[in-house]
Amino acid sequence: MFDKLSFLQQRYEELSTQISDPEVIADQNKFRELCKEHSDITPIVEKYNMYKSAKTQLEESKEMLGENLDKDFKELVQAEYDDAKEKISQYEEELKILLLPKDPNDEKSVIVEIRGGAGGDEAALFASDLFRMYSMYAETKNWKIEVLSLNQTELGGIKEISFGIDGNGAYSKLKYESGVHRVQRIPSTESGGRIHTSTVTVAVLPEVEEVEVEINPNDLKIDVFRAGGPGGQCVNTTDSAVRITHLPTGLVVSCQDEKSQLKNKEKGMKILRSRLYDLLQSQQHNEIAEQRKNQVGTGDRSERIRTYNFPQGRVSDHRIGLTLHRLDSVLNGDLDEIIDALITYYQAEKLKGGEQ
């Protein structure tokens, strides 16, 4: 680990010199690339310097403790020694985490897809609640939201929605939200006051650029049709809705929210690119399924990950055994405690797997 840290510190110094070179600055592509590398390793180098400082303090205090000191001064030196020892242990653990291989998608924006599952209208209503929850969470991070595709019910629920969240690092925060979300509550239509259980599926996909996923236009079947809304009423008098089928995989994307056929096609292609990218990643991950299961969870869309219990006002994440008795604040977008706990858990799993 320390050989790697020494190399990174040397590389950091080289990069600091290079990004100050006028010739490098003139080459914008190279300058941008070097700045990103410099930015990526800066937190590691800063922590390593803190570690070395604590190590120096420990050695100096240890040497002084071997001398003939008066009682009060010896107690002071002993306190410095103990403090340095504690910091070294803390910094070593933090450096191990910083050196873990990064998910190449972590800095990306995301496309989130929410679908009502078992439970009919009640599931659709909860899908709407989850869309609101993620929207409010995104607002706390100053991330931008764009609805890409929406299919609503007559009661105001959501059968299916795809929306983009544009923000640096959005994927790193939201990637563990994929899976089945279960809700337990008494529906407003239930006269007997019985608790119903419904499910909603969430898929979080990294948003990808055209250059990252190559789509052959000949592999696409594009149909246009007239948009419709809840109850089947016409919401558009022109054939502006677009359905895109990717023939090799059978993936189908429909968009009808814009009045412009071109805009609906653009949104549909954005969703399709992310779904194809996710499919390719899933195929790669399946080849190392056991290793991945140990390191970052299955990520299976069918895996029940969380329960929202309204009668008891609690939220439970089943993967990490975390239960919070503040359902209202969670549904209002206060997700940091859950998300931070998930990130910490999966980092620990990677460390246990010996991934250095």
The per-residue pLDDT for 284 is 60
| 110-350 fold | Alpha-Beta Plaits (3.30.70)
**What's the whole-model pTM score?**
0.66
pLDDT of residue 353: 67
pLDDT of residue 68: 77
Take residue 23 and report the two structure tokens written for it. Answer: 């010739």
The pLDDT, as a whole number, for residue 243 is: 85
Return the amino acid letter for 189: T
Task: With beta carbons less than 8 A apart as the criterion, state whether 178 and 159 touch.
Answer: no
What is the structure's pLDDT at 286? 61
Residue limits of CATH 3.30.70.1660 in the chain: 110-350
Which structure tokens are listed for 88? Answer: 């070294």
User: Residue 202 contacts by C-beta under 8 Å, 6 or more apart in sequence?
Assistant: 112, 113, 114, 130, 177, 178, 179, 180, 181
Strand (E) or helix (H) holding 131: helix 120-140
Query: How high is the pLDDT of residue 233?
Result: 43
User: What was the pLDDT predicted at 289?
Assistant: 46
Contacts of 302 (CB under 8 A, 6+ apart): 179, 180, 201
User: 294 has which bridge partners?
Assistant: none
DSSP letters along 217-253, please?
A: GGGEEEEEE--B-GGG-BS-SS--EEEEEETTTTEEE
Rounded Cα distance between 79 and 179, Å, is 49
Q: Give the pLDDT of the chain (356 residues) as one tens digit per residue.
A: 878 888 888 898 999 999 888 888 888 888 888 888 888 889 889 998 999 999 999 999 888 887 877 888 888 888 999 999 999 998 988 888 888 777 778 888 899 999 888 888 889 999 999 999 999 999 999 999 988 888 888 878 899 898 999 988 899 999 999 999 999 988 766 656 788 889 999 999 888 776 567 788 888 888 887 666 554 444 445 567 888 888 888 888 888 777 778 888 888 888 888 888 888 777 666 654 443 344 334 334 457 899 999 999 999 999 999 999 999 999 999 999 999 999 988 888 887 765 43
- The DSSP code sequence of 259-283 is S-HHHHHHHHHHHHHHHHHHHHHHH
